[in-house]
A and B are shown apart, each in its own frame.
Chain A
Amino acid sequence: MLTREGVVRLLADAGIEVVAQAEDAEGLLRQVRVTQPDAAVVDIRMPPSHTDEGLVATQQIRAEHPAIGVLLLSQYVEPSYAMRLLEEHPEGVGYLLKQRVFDGAVLVDALRRIADGETVVDPTIVARLVGRRRREDPLAELTEREREVLGLLAEGLSNRAIASRLYVTERTVEAHVKQIFLKLGLDVNPGSHRRVLAVLACLRGERLDEV
């Protein structure tokens, strides 16, 4: 409850119109159908069972309304959920830790990216996956800069966004990304929407088709 009120106020302060609020997954789906918003912010735990209703509802919204982006909020860092989300709908979705969205700038930025069809993955998740202990570390091959790019890429940033974050040109980023994919042995098109999922899976030591 507190989270929802806080998010609503933050969005209102940032000049983003909040067209509807809902208490549970059923209400959420109904409101989405009626109001057709640009994006929805969804808590992963909702009544009645307080488990993963939000995740299920998100997938349903994405399947029924491909134009509506969804930002899923969770109290836990759960890479499996982020990947499950991206698996079926690799664009227009985001997964963030709740505490992060109280930074209004982060929340607004995430919603704008999602509404634009990009993906948003919480930096904590990416940090945990990058920091995962491995017997044979493919990341050891990467340069410092390439690792930086990899992290931002895994967070769902576009090449342009990465470029502006690192103060380099978009073409430089493109070159880095190409190099990273080559070194990690990823056979996904570096420009495709599946690239975030491919990188996350690779970081987890999983093959994409098994995800």
Chain B
Amino acid sequence: MANARAATAAAVRPALLAAAALALAWAVVAIIAVDPEADPPTSYAAALPAARVADIAAGLGLILAGALAAAQPRSRRVGLLAMLAGSAWFGADLEGWQDGPSLLRSLGAAASPFTLALVLHFTLALPRGRLRSAAARTTTVAAYGIAAVVTLARALFRDPLLDLYCWRNCRDNSFLVDADPGIASALDDIWVWSALAIGLVLVGFGAHRLLTASGPGRRVLLPLVTPAVLVGATEAVYAVALLRTRLESPDAAGFAAIFLAQALSLALLAIGLAWTVVRVPRTGARVARLASDLGEAPPPGTLREALAAALGDPGVDVLYPRRGSHQLIDADGRPAELPARARAVARIARGERTLALVLHDPVLLDEPELERALGSAAKLSVENEALRAEALAQLHELSASRTRIVEAGDSARRGLERNLHDGAQQRLLALSYDLRLARAGAVADRDDELVAVLDTAADETATALDELRELAYGIYPAVLTEAGLAAALATLADGAPLPVELGHVTRVRQPPSVETTAYVTVAEAIGDAARRGASFAAVRVAREGGRLVIAVDDDGAPRSSRLLHVADRVGALAGTLHVGDTDLRAEMPCE
């Protein structure tokens, strides 16, 4: 890949040099063409020294800044557009070269209208020189199309000699086929209205880009789009001035001011382009420094922050593909997805395998540059981060699975309790009712023997009901779901084998799995306290900043059991259990 890039660069460089030399030659001729002594002046540059300086600054500036930009692969396209715009800008000066060759005057007149279309193309194609949207492509093609049609038609039908308002080149037209002042005047009208439209599109589009760009994107676009908007605005003002009077003259203060403003706007555009080209490699240097930083084993999990700082783009994100799947995760192992758009994605790979995807602002860097800058040392860091993210993702899955297991168990217990309640207990109730009926009949029949048997049966049924009730309650205390932890713990304390002092117990309802786990924790702690011969157990349950804290203290013999099954349950809800000799403290998130 590097070889291919070098080969491309080798092929491109002479062509670029030739283009730059050609543009410079054209510029030099245009600068020489301006004759300050001419009266009346045949170009704005000839009318005023200030206009001449601004004229040269605009055209030469665009060509030089464009050449500078074109030397960088990243900004080659916009650089070429700027060089072309600068050359087209000088067209007006060549058109007014009275002593020059007729062909150059005609070529200058043909080139001049393309300045505006090129600036529009340049602006719409920022920052990479590619037109991303269909609207941008249509607008650009339309601008070029209008400029081309008007230029071609003028070349064919406009004889300057017959033009009432002519002031630049009133002598000849090398391409003339059929002089038709009517068509020429209509073409002038079309062009003025078109220039007004293109100027306004440039203003509108530029303002929209600036307003909708993200922070770092706006920083990059600002020095380029702002002057472009000014160019569009001055062009629109120029068109309006022409609509008011066709009598254009560089001696008129209004027209001169408009020219000066537009030339300065273009000069600003050139400065902005040069500044941008010089500035971006500095980001590359920061990435290179980052690469050396990363070589010195940065703290794990900090790659995103390091990249964001180096790139000056706080929105930078680093995502890692999971092993053997297309699922993406972030540095913390949480599932993530590529944003739909508006972010550029740089892929960092080792061989065929993608190690990481760096999501950054599209204006910041090209993908291969970031990849190259991260370097092999950085790849090791990225690999560590990716491994860590993978491990964290597995940890998240594991704890989610633990939680699901606990919840499934609770749900099964609730179902079992419901079944006992609605099934076996109801049947026993029906049986005890039937036994009472039978007993009433036996009493009526004075069958004492049968009455005695039925009494025994009724007692047995009552005992069975009592036992079944205890069993069902033990499987799952219905009151926990119905009335919450406070009520359930109060009932637990009512039947506890030792005195239980309920301190503060929150009455705020918690998620079901949290309430059940809290209940089980307290129940187990009370049972454990009783087994260790405690004379009491004190229970507190409080919410502390998004966590449910359960504390059970007693005065029994020191614990030998670590209450591992309680620890498992609490752990499954991402909580912690501390078990001391006679104290126990469980904490779990409850939000």
Residue with the highest number of chain B CB atoms closer than 10 Å, among A52, A78, A132: A78
Cα distance, A31 to B427, chains bound together (Å): 28
Q: A124: nearest residue on chain B (CB-CB)? A: B466
0 or 1 for each of B476-495: is its CB under 8 Å from A? (1 = yes): 00110111000100110111
Residues of A contacting B432 with CB < 8 Å?
99, 102
0 or 1 for each of A120-138: is its CB under 8 Å from B? (1 = yes): 0000000011001111000
Residue total for A at the interface (Cβ-Cβ under 8 A): 30
Verify if B501 is at the interface (C-beta below 8 Å from A).
Answer: yes
Residues of A contacting B499 with CB < 8 Å?
133-135
The smallest C-beta distance from A63 to any residue of chain B, in angstroms, reads: 19
Residues of A contacting B490 with CB < 8 Å?
79-80, 204
Also in contact, A80 and B491, with CB within 8 A (given A52-B483, A98-B429, A135-B536): yes
Q: B487: nearest residue on chain A (CB-CB)? A: A80
Residue with the highest number of chain B CB atoms closer than 10 Å, among A1, A2, A80: A80
Q: Does the CB pair B436–A104 fall under 8 Å?
A: yes
Q: Does the CB pair B478–A2 fall under 8 Å?
A: no
Q: A79: nearest residue on chain B (CB-CB)? A: B494
0 or 1 for each of B415-448: is its CB under 8 Å from A? (1 = yes): 0001001100111111011001000000000000
Residues of B contacting A3 with CB < 8 Å?
426, 429-430
Verify if B83 is at the interface (C-beta below 8 Å from A).
Answer: no
0 or 1 for each of B498-517: is its CB under 8 Å from A? (1 = yes): 11111000000000000000
Verify if A143 is at the interface (C-beta below 8 Å from B).
Answer: no
Within 8 A of B (CB), among A48-94: 50-52, 75-81, 84
Q: Does the CB pair A50–B418 fall under 8 Å?
A: yes
Verify if A6 is at the interface (C-beta below 8 Å from B).
Answer: yes
Q: Does the CB pair B479–A78 fall under 8 Å?
A: yes
Q: A78: nearest residue on chain B (CB-CB)? A: B479
Verify if A194 is at the interface (C-beta below 8 Å from B).
Answer: no
Verify if B465 is at the interface (C-beta below 8 Å from A).
Answer: yes
Verify if A178 is at the interface (C-beta below 8 Å from B).
Answer: no
The smallest C-beta distance from A23 to any residue of chain B, in angstroms, reads: 15
Q: Does the CB pair B497–A133 fall under 8 Å?
A: yes
Q: B435: nearest residue on chain A (CB-CB)? A: A102
Residues of A contacting B430 with CB < 8 Å?
2-3, 6
Cα distance, A50 to B478, chains bound together (Å): 10
Q: B420: nearest residue on chain A (CB-CB)? A: A75
Q: Does the CB pair A80–B479 fall under 8 Å?
A: yes
Residue total for B at the interface (Cβ-Cβ under 8 A): 37
Verify if A103 is at the interface (C-beta below 8 Å from B).
Answer: yes
Residues of B contacting A76 with CB < 8 Å?
469, 472-473, 478-479
0 or 1 for each of B451-484: is its CB under 8 Å from A? (1 = yes): 0000000000010010001001100001101110
0 or 1 for each of A22-56: is its CB under 8 Å from B? (1 = yes): 00000000000000000000000100001110000
Partner of B481, one of A51, A75, A104, A133: A51
Also in contact, A99 and B494, with CB within 8 A (given A76-B478, A77-B469): no
Cα distance, A99 to B137, chains bound together (Å): 84
Verify if B535 is at the interface (C-beta below 8 Å from A).
Answer: yes
Cα distance, A205 to B503, chains bound together (Å): 11
Cα distance, A128 to B473, chains bound together (Å): 15
The smallest C-beta distance from A156 to any residue of chain B, in angstroms, reads: 18
Verify if B149 is at the interface (C-beta below 8 Å from A).
Answer: no
Cα distance, A51 to B502, chains bound together (Å): 25
Q: B495: nearest residue on chain A (CB-CB)? A: A128
Also in contact, A132 and B493, with CB within 8 A (given A76-B473, A102-B429, A102-B433): yes
Cα distance, A79 to B489, chains bound together (Å): 11
Verify if B496 is at the interface (C-beta below 8 Å from A).
Answer: yes
Cα distance, A140 to B536, chains bound together (Å): 17
Cα distance, A110 to B578, chains bound together (Å): 49
Cα distance, A75 to B418, chains bound together (Å): 11
Q: B461: nearest residue on chain A (CB-CB)? A: A99
Cα distance, A76 to B428, chains bound together (Å): 14
Q: Does the CB pair A75–B491 fall under 8 Å?
A: no
Cα distance, A135 to B536, chains bound together (Å): 7
Partner of B436, one of A51, A84, A102, A128: A102
Residues of B contacting A10 with CB < 8 Å?
433
Also in contact, A6 and B429, with CB within 8 A (given A52-B482, A99-B462, A133-B498): yes
Q: Does the CB pair B429–A81 fall under 8 Å?
A: no
Cα distance, A78 to B492, chains bound together (Å): 10
Cα distance, A92 to B60, chains bound together (Å): 101
Residues of B contacting A77 with CB < 8 Å?
469
Cα distance, A59 to B433, chains bound together (Å): 28
Q: Does the CB pair B498–A2 fall under 8 Å?
A: no
Partner of A204, one of B418, B482, B494: B494
The smallest C-beta distance from A94 to any residue of chain B, in angstroms, reads: 18
Residues of B contacting A128 with CB < 8 Å?
494-495
The smallest C-beta distance from A19 to any residue of chain B, in angstroms, reads: 22
Q: Does the CB pair B436–A103 fall under 8 Å?
A: yes
The smallest C-beta distance from B459 to any residue of chain A, in angstroms, reads: 12
Cα distance, A33 to B391, chains bound together (Å): 63
Cα distance, A76 to B468, chains bound together (Å): 10
Residues of B contacting A99 with CB < 8 Å?
428-429, 432, 462, 465
The smallest C-beta distance from A89 to any residue of chain B, in angstroms, reads: 17
Residues of B contacting A103 with CB < 8 Å?
436
The smallest C-beta distance from A78 to any residue of chain B, in angstroms, reads: 5
Q: Does the CB pair A78–B429 fall under 8 Å?
A: no
Q: Does the CB pair A75–B494 fall under 8 Å?
A: no
Residue with the highest number of chain B CB atoms closer than 10 Å, among A51, A75, A134, A205: A75
Cα distance, A129 to B493, chains bound together (Å): 10
Cα distance, A84 to B507, chains bound together (Å): 14
Residues of A contacting B536 with CB < 8 Å?
135
Also in contact, A133 and B500, with CB within 8 A (given A50-B418, A52-B482, A79-B494): yes
Q: Does the CB pair B433–A135 fall under 8 Å?
A: no
Cα distance, A117 to B469, chains bound together (Å): 30
The smallest C-beta distance from A49 to any residue of chain B, in angstroms, reads: 9
Q: A125: nearest residue on chain B (CB-CB)? A: B494
Q: B490: nearest residue on chain A (CB-CB)? A: A80
Residues of A contacting B433 with CB < 8 Å?
2, 6, 10, 102
The smallest C-beta distance from A134 to any residue of chain B, in angstroms, reads: 5
Residues of A contacting B495 with CB < 8 Å?
128, 132
Q: B493: nearest residue on chain A (CB-CB)? A: A132
Q: Does the CB pair B501–A75 fall under 8 Å?
A: no
The smallest C-beta distance from B534 to any residue of chain A, in angstroms, reads: 11
Residues of B contacting A84 with CB < 8 Å?
483
Residues of A contacting B436 with CB < 8 Å?
102-104
Q: Does the CB pair B426–A2 fall under 8 Å?
A: yes
Cα distance, A45 to B472, chains bound together (Å): 15
The smallest C-beta distance from A46 to any residue of chain B, in angstroms, reads: 12
Within 8 A of B (CB), among A1-24: 1-3, 6, 10
* Additional A-B contacts beyond A76-B478, A84-B483 (9; CB < 8 A): A6-B433, A75-B425, A75-B469, A128-B494, A129-B494, A133-B500, A135-B536, A204-B490, A205-B502
- Contact surface of A with B, Cβ cutoff 8 Å: 1-3, 6, 10, 45, 50-52, 75-81, 84, 98-99, 102-104, 128-129, 132-135, 204-205
8 nearest interchain CB pairs?
A80-B487, A2-B430, A6-B433, A133-B499, A52-B482, A51-B482, A135-B499, A102-B433
A–B complex contacts, Cβ < 8 Å, 12 sampled:
A3-B426, A6-B429, A6-B430, A6-B433, A10-B433, A52-B482, A76-B469, A76-B472, A76-B473, A80-B487, A128-B495, A135-B535
